[in-house]
Amino acid sequence: MELSGYGGGPDDPGQIRLLKDLDHDAAGRDVIVVEDVVDTGLTLRFLCRSLALRRPASLAVVTLLDRPYRRIVRDLPIRYTGFVVPDELFIGYGFDRDERFRQLPDLHVYRGA
């Protein structure tokens, strides 16, 4: 699945759109959502609710980076967390800044310019 969040700010989460749906039926299957970063949890809650309607056997989330202190939504099925990180911008290992630095082989805190 692919989601897009747009609009909003700190007090208004904006809107979430479904850009691509599942290619297979999730009913009766064990579903694991792999997330890069979990912040407020608003997008993840939308995704989990959408998946739950499809009646999977189980639903769990794994995230590489977690920022639980930014969480607005508390009841998320996060089963595995790689790292709890500070509120900083990370680059490398697939994370980018303006489409740059994504190819770095490990994570770095982006320090500007």
pLDDT band at 28 (very low <50, low <70, confident <90, very high): very high
Phi, psi dihedrals of residue 93, rounded to the nearest 5°: 55, 35
Query: For a pLDDT cut of 70, what percent of the chain falls above it?
Result: 91
For residue 56, the model assigns a pLDDT of 97
| Predicted local distance difference test score (pLDDT) of residue 14 | 66
Taking all residues of the chain, what is their mean pLDDT, rounded to a whole number? 90
Show me where the domains of the chain are located.
2-87
CATH fold for domain 2-87:
Rossmann fold (3.40.50)
Give the pLDDT mean for 61-71: 94
**What residues have CB less than 8 Å from 57, skipping those under 6 apart?**
28, 29, 30, 31
Higher pLDDT, 112 or 65: 65
- The pLDDT of residue 9 is above 80: no
The catalytically annotated residue of 30, 39, 66, 87 is 39
39 a catalytic residue: yes
Long-range contacts of 71-75 (CB under 8 A, 24+ apart): 71/38, 71/39, 71/40, 71/41, 72/13, 72/40, 72/41, 72/42, 73/40, 73/41, 73/42, 73/44, 73/45, 74/41, 75/45
The band of 8, judged by pLDDT with boundaries at 50, 70 and 90, is low
